[in-house]
Structure 1
Amino acid sequence: MFSLFKKRRTQTSSSNLDDQKGIIGKFHESGKPVIVKFVNEIPNDETMKNLPWLTIISWKYDADINNGMPLKEVNKKMIKLEHALEVFYSIDDIRWIYNRTGNGLKEFNYQISDRDQFIKELNKALRGHERYPIEITFYEDSDWKGFIKLVKDFEQA
């Protein structure tokens, strides 16, 4: 079952995201809570066409402790990473779509136009940071199917 916590504005510094609204919600996966923060707006067809790559930055951690949520020290590092990733809000060819935390997995999800540009910007954003235990995966998803499903699942909540 999906449930919404509250509607809130997503703080951004980019003009194309200034009016975007975000949602914080929760669902359960394998009996453990998963918190999601996502844009509550399906973009127009042109935007989807211009950003065909679903890009997921994943950070796995022990799901068997703390009810599947990251421990305080790990969470602090995740927040530091999340703040560094805010640079993507100001890049037109990269659009943040949602984050999830729970059941041993933290994910930062973006739709992008160019994989090489994304990696270049990510490396620049993380310069001087400690090494994070993350994986980056690219999926061709010009229809934004996963994101649209997420939005619709919460619309029904």
Structure 2
Amino acid sequence: MTANAEEGKGIIGRVYENGAPVIYKFVNELPGDDIRAGLPWLAVISWKYDGSSNNGMPLEKDNQGMIALEDAIEDHIESDGFLRHVYSRTGNDLKELVYYIGDQERFLEALNNTLGSHPRYPIEINFYEDRSWEDFRRLLTDFSNAPVR
């Protein structure tokens, strides 16, 4: 496990799963109590792909779609303040975009409105109640002792 400091508090870290690299991108701090209290749901957007010819990483066509999806969420939904991007992971045939949200229906409505003009993405969305932000805390702990390069 390694981590690189990027733009202040931003981190890019690498782990290996089944011998394949997996890249994590996240901000290395919990937001304040007031923000966390308003975002009790973990929303995980998963995009499975075939990276067998690219060491578990997405091929260019899939990667471009993933970037377009992430940019659309960041530009049109995250800026509204009812969600917080906590991390993304890419590798071992799986891309995940992970957010804390306040309301599942509002999130899905905003996502559908935002992606209305996009091609259909091969994604799955799962929600988990996580009022204490345990998932993100676990990620921070996992990377807290990683060597920085």
Task: Confirm or deny a common fold (TM above 0.5).
Answer: yes
Gaps of 5+ in 2: none
Selected match of 2:139 from 117, 125, 150 = 150
Cα deviation for residue 77 of structure 1 reads 1.2
Equivalence map 1:75-114=2 (5 Å): 75-86=63-74, 87-114=76-103
How many residue pairs get matched?
Answer: 145
Q: Deviations over 1:23-58 (max 9, x none)?
A: 111111111100011121112333222111000110
Counterpart Cα distance in 2 of 1:156 and 1:6: 13
Equivalent pair of 1:52/1:142 in contact (CA under 8 Å): yes
Counterpart Cα distance in 2 of 1:55 and 1:81: 15
Counterpart Cα distance in 1 of 2:105 and 2:141: 31
Cα RMSD for the two superposed structures: 1.3
**Partner residue, 2:55:** 67
- SS of alignment partner, residue 66 of structure 1: coil
Gaps of 5+ in 1: 10-20
Sequence identity percentage: 51
Counterpart Cα distance in 2 of 1:108 and 1:88: 13
Counterpart Cα distance in 1 of 2:126 and 2:62: 21
Provide TM-score, normalisation by structure 2. Answer: 0.91
Cα deviation for residue 64 of structure 1 reads 2.6
Aligned amino acid, residue 25 of structure 1:
G
Provide TM-score, normalisation by structure 1. Answer: 0.87
- SS of alignment partner, residue 128 of structure 2: strand
